[in-house]
Amino acid sequence: MRQKVVYISVMLAAACGQVSWAIEAHQVAALTGQDLHLNGAGVVSHRLSSGEHILVFGDGVDMSIGANAFSSGSAVVWLESMAAELVEEGRAGYTAMAYLGGSVSVQKAVGALTTDLHQIPTADGRAMVVWFSVSGEVLVSAEKREIGDPHGTEFYTKAVIALRDAGIGDGIVKAAKLPEPKPPEPPEPGEKITKEPYKPGSRYPVNFSGVGETAPKLEWTKTLGVATLINRFYIWQKQDEQGGLLELQADYAVVFFSEEDANSVKDAGEAQALLAAGAVKGIYLSGDVLMTNGQRTIRADELYYDFEQTKAIAKNAEMRNFDAKEGIPIYIRAKELRQVAEDKFTGENVTVTTSEFHKPQISLDVKSISITDTTTADEQQGGATKSSYDAIMRDVRLKVYDVTILHLPHLRSNLERPDIPLKSAHIGHGSRWGYLAETRWYLARLLGLQEPEGTESTLAVDYYSKRGVGVGVDIQYAREKYFGRVLGYVINDRGEDKVGRHATRKNLEPERDLRGRFRWQHRQFLPYNWQLTGEISYSSDMYFLESYYRSEFNVGKEQETLLHLKRIEDNWGLSFLSKIRINDFVNKLEELPTGEFHWTGQSFFNDRLTFYSDTQVSRFRQRYASSTANPGPQQFFTFAMTRNEVDMPLSIGKAKVVPFVAGTAAYEDRMGFFREMDGGTGQRDDDVYYGETGVRISRQPYWKVFPDVRSRKWDLDQLRHVLRPHMTAVSYHETESVIEQRDIVNLGLSQRLQTKRGTGNQRRTVDWMRLNTDVTFVNNDGSASAGADRFIWNKPFIPTVNTFSGAVPQLDRRSTVMSGVRRDYIGADYSWRLSDTTAILSDMNYDLQSGVVQQFNVGFSRMRWPDLSYYVGSRYLRRITINDPTTGMKLQEGSNAFVFAITYVLDPRYTVVFSQQIDFDYGATVGSEITLLRRYHRMYWGLTFRADESLDEEGIVFSIWPQGVSDLGIGPSRYMRLGSSAGGY
């Protein structure tokens, strides 16, 4: 037979000339597409003037592409070469159309990948039109071959009419010159027009094939109008033009046809043709039934599916959904599951779980459930949303094995993990809180509401045996034109605060028992690039946030009440800010209001000059805390400042030189400017001026390649050394000493040692080593007690006002990290990536005046896949003078800390996590923590002991959480991700 395939291919190629219906020989090796196979007893070939090729099979044909197979008593196949721009380079491409007539059979194996194949039955249901793209070769085998023009023959004309009715092959239809169809004759006067019963516009074919070695057997029972299928089979039907597919598998089936269609069937062969024409009313399936539509899979003992109304009923059913985010299946098991519409399901006596076992560890027992699943349709329209899957459950019991631990009258969920209303839980004991239980719940699910898209609402319910019961709400929302957050919490607190280890920070009695906080943050995107930001932040007392929200207090945004309007357009920005105080226990500088304008990098004179401008005008009021013994005046005052800079960028050889001049003017009418550079006071001035002259220089990098460097030990493949020097020098000229600035010179050198790592598409250039060094000199050095300052490139000046400081009054304009460098120093920043899993990081600050290291940090991080990862580090801060909060005496204190952390997988079941920090200057352990984790099927538990010497606190916590639910857990949330399905341990 192989010789016949080659013979026919060569002869047709010769007959067709340049345009061959077989792939060109020089392209064959480059192709990996799907081939079209045609096999028949005899074939007649013909080429149209427009380039299409016609193959006519009169004595039966078998056609296959990919996993799709067709057979019929006769066929006409048209092949047209695709345009070059529509075909991948090195491939041939064809558009194939086929008319199949007489005893049509369609087979498709499970997992068939051809999705652009279209099928439409003819009006009488006895033939079919198929069209698709061919990305591989076209191979024909036949016992007999002829060359001839089929135009005018009855069979060819019938095939062209079928193409025309299907709305394809316009060129072929025109070339056939078909007679115009006769218009329908008008009815005779008085004749009654009968209305045809409604039928669907098009019925997609119902195809079947065998599964396994034994072919399915189709039997026809004419008196009943049904057909039976015996032996394991696979049935599929196209659902829409977007690639939707309904798939069915079972051991036995009864196929029901409409009475009209059944009357024309004489044997099993014609019944199979009716299947191919889609003329099926319904089907009953029995024996290990499997129904799949998109990601939805239903298994059942018995199932009946109504093709006309898209309804189904399944006995002893299990619906399987897949949580793609966590990689975990979700099972819905019911004694009876009904599909009441295309995307709606109902069930009674349902079990919802993630466990494959018959008796799950954790499950939801549900009396009744109603599911709306539009996931498949939404994905075709651009992407599924939170509301694509909606399950309404009634009489819900959360069970661990057979023990009910929670009963809810109703629950609403999208059945993504977690599939229960509990979001997280922490249970334990600590010396500061006593016995504690902190729980977080999905608020919308508890209320039985469908949460809007982009919204997440959480209910907090907490208990502390030494403090009391607390309740709160956290709602986060985000839509196209706005986003925000509402956070509230209240507790009846009967305990005392402990916010530090010193006596003045312990045993603090709250001002009132009822304590809490409220915060609302909102940002609205307005037309013309305007943004409006609003915030309200309220706390009941000074220590509530530090005690209950310690992490937010230490590193989070300041609690403020403000309204901020801004617009950024191109290289300029304009903003207005109003900020007031509503918490009377804090010092706050109110802004009523502040206006700012910034103009950055504006070019003048054909890029010869560049202009920068920053201007601020404010109406301030200093508010003092209610606990202040002798508060100062709280009247309104005005502050204004403008800084304008002109740069002249130059290129000198391979260096870029930017000399610049700048001038700053400032005004403040409350206390004016009176702070000298050494910290003393001078004569007050309300308006001050100073100028700047300076230069910034950077050179194009120097580099050299060492192509012969190779090392498996150090993971090196060639080396490139890159150096880039830079310098900044600024001199200031002020009108008064109270605005005096320090002149500054900064010299820096950035170095890289780069190598190549990875293979194939992952091949990349990485920094094997990186070393940045700089040395900074200033005039009028500050005192030796100054901290480890760092030069900020392009920002060497000192702000004229510090609105972020909590100091009262707002006097010290040199109290922030942007206040400039106060002493000469050498700084260095180093990293060494030994491999993709091992790195060394370090930085240092050395004081040139005192000759001491002010700050030094070094750390070593290593991951040894798959069972070990650890970090070893040290942090050193030189001793500085501080006040003892208990005695008021001045002490010399620093920090010399050692940090160690390790995660080790003992075996697939057990993991140990340990961390510790020791400070040698204090001679004490700052904190220690050790956790033992245990893994079960879809379940984890952990036991944690921790001690925090900074708060003089110890505690022990037991944790348990399901696999794949990073939020749901009893215990420290930092270990929850260890239970994810993707990462395992």
Measured CA to CA, the distance from residue 239 to residue 92 in angstroms comes to 30
> Is residue 438 in some structural domain?
yes
Q: Which domain holds residue 937?
A: 865-985
Residues 6+ positions from 888 with CB-CB distance below 8 Å: none
Tell me the percentage of the chain whose pLDDT exceeds 90: 31
Last residue of a domain, one of 364, 392, 420: 420
**pLDDT value at residue 569:** 93
Of 316-330, 712-726, 806-820, minimum mean pLDDT range: 806-820
**pLDDT value at residue 573:** 95
Last residue of a domain, one of 559, 594, 612: 559
Amino acid making up residue 94: Y
> Is residue 875 in some structural domain?
yes
Residues 6+ positions from 222 with CB-CB distance below 8 Å: 262, 265, 266
**pLDDT value at residue 315:** 93
pLDDT digits (tens, 9 = 90+) for 912-961: 999 999 988 877 788 899 999 888 777 778 888 988 887 778 888 887 77
**32 and 89 part of one domain:** yes
**pLDDT value at residue 321:** 74
Of 266-280, 482-496, 629-643, 860-874, minimum mean pLDDT range: 266-280
**pLDDT value at residue 402:** 84
pLDDT at 16 over 70: no
**434 and 554 part of one domain:** yes
Question: What are the b/e assignments for 894-908, b being 16+ CB within 10 Å?
Answer: ebbbbbebebebeee
Backbone phi and psi for residue 752, each to the nearest 5 degrees, phi listed first:
-135, 135
pLDDT, average across residues 674-694: 80
Which residues are bridge partners to 800 per DSSP?
A: none
pLDDT at 117 over 60: yes
**121 and 216 part of one domain:** no
Number of domains observed in the structure of the chain: 5
* Token pair for 817: 């990290």
> Is residue 696 in some structural domain?
no
pLDDT, average across residues 273-301: 83
**pLDDT value at residue 776:** 93
pLDDT at 885 over 70: no
**pLDDT value at residue 386:** 64
Measured CA to CA, the distance from residue 849 to residue 415 in angstroms comes to 65
**pLDDT value at residue 574:** 96
**100 and 10 part of one domain:** yes
> Is residue 791 in some structural domain?
no
- Name the band, by pLDDT with cuts 50, 70 and 90, for residue 691: very high
**pLDDT value at residue 88:** 54
**283 and 330 part of one domain:** no
**pLDDT value at residue 881:** 66
Evaluate whether 474 touches 443 at the Cβ level (below 8 Å).
Answer: no
Comparing 211 with 403, which gets the higher pLDDT? 403
**44 and 112 part of one domain:** yes
Q: Of 113-117, 236-240, 691-695, which has the strongest mean pLDDT? A: 691-695
Measured CA to CA, the distance from residue 388 to residue 584 in angstroms comes to 47
* Token pair for 620: 């301030």
* Token pair for 800: 């004229």
On average, the pLDDT of the chain sits at 80
Evaluate whether 471 touches 437 at the Cβ level (below 8 Å).
Answer: no
Comparing 342 with 196, which gets the higher pLDDT? 342
Comparing 493 with 94, which gets the higher pLDDT? 493
- Name the band, by pLDDT with cuts 50, 70 and 90, for residue 324: low
Comparing 115 with 440, which gets the higher pLDDT? 440
Measured CA to CA, the distance from residue 810 to residue 807 in angstroms comes to 6
Measured CA to CA, the distance from residue 976 to residue 971 in angstroms comes to 9
**211 and 157 part of one domain:** no
**pLDDT value at residue 382:** 63
**pLDDT value at residue 529:** 93
Of 57-66, 94-103, 787-796, minimum mean pLDDT range: 787-796
pLDDT at 429 over 50: yes
> Is residue 413 in some structural domain?
yes
Evaluate whether 493 touches 466 at the Cβ level (below 8 Å).
Answer: no
Tell me the percentage of the chain whose pLDDT exceeds 70: 79
pLDDT at 846 over 70: yes
**13 and 71 part of one domain:** yes
pLDDT at 761 over 90: no
What single-letter DSSP state applies at residue 22? S
Question: What are the b/e assignments for 768-777, b being 16+ CB within 10 Å?
Answer: bbbbbebbbb
Evaluate whether 257 touches 280 at the Cβ level (below 8 Å).
Answer: yes
pLDDT at 769 over 90: yes
**pLDDT value at residue 69:** 82
Question: What are the b/e assignments for 409-433, b being 16+ CB within 10 Å?
Answer: ebbbbbbbbbbbbbbbbbbbebebb
pLDDT, average across residues 344-363: 84
> Is residue 781 in some structural domain?
no
Percentages of the chain per state (helix, strand, coil), in multiples of 5: 10, 55, 35
**35 and 171 part of one domain:** yes
pLDDT, average across residues 540-561: 89
Measuring CA to CA, which residue among 917, 902, 953 is closest to residue 945?
953
Backbone phi and psi for residue 293, each to the nearest 5 degrees, phi listed first:
-145, 105
Last residue of a domain, one of 540, 559, 578: 559
> Is residue 825 in some structural domain?
no
Task: Residue 692: count other Cβ atoms within 10 Å of its Cβ.
Answer: 20
pLDDT digits (tens, 9 = 90+) for 641-671: 999 999 999 999 889 999 999 999 989 887 7
pLDDT at 866 over 80: yes
> Is residue 975 in some structural domain?
yes
**110 and 238 part of one domain:** no
**pLDDT value at residue 50:** 66
pLDDT at 451 over 70: yes
DSSP reduced 3-state for 173: helix
β 61-65/68-72 pair status: antiparallel
pLDDT, average across residues 766-775: 95
Torsion sign (Cα): 415, 418, 423, 425? positive
- Name the band, by pLDDT with cuts 50, 70 and 90, for residue 751: very high
Measured CA to CA, the distance from residue 342 to residue 310 in angstroms comes to 5
pLDDT, average across residues 2-20: 38
Measured CA to CA, the distance from residue 803 to residue 309 in angstroms comes to 69
**165 and 214 part of one domain:** no
**483 and 383 part of one domain:** no
- Name the band, by pLDDT with cuts 50, 70 and 90, for residue 384: low
- Name the band, by pLDDT with cuts 50, 70 and 90, for residue 326: low
- Name the band, by pLDDT with cuts 50, 70 and 90, for residue 981: very low
Spell out where 68-117 has E strands: 68-72, 74-81, 94-101, 105-108
pLDDT at 314 over 60: yes
pLDDT digits (tens, 9 = 90+) for 610-635: 999 999 999 988 888 888 777 777 88
**pLDDT value at residue 354:** 79
What single-letter DSSP state applies at residue 79? E
DSSP 755-801: EEE-SGGG-EEEEEEEEEEEEEEESS---TT-------TT--SPPS-
pLDDT digits (tens, 9 = 90+) for 471-486: 999 999 999 999 999 9
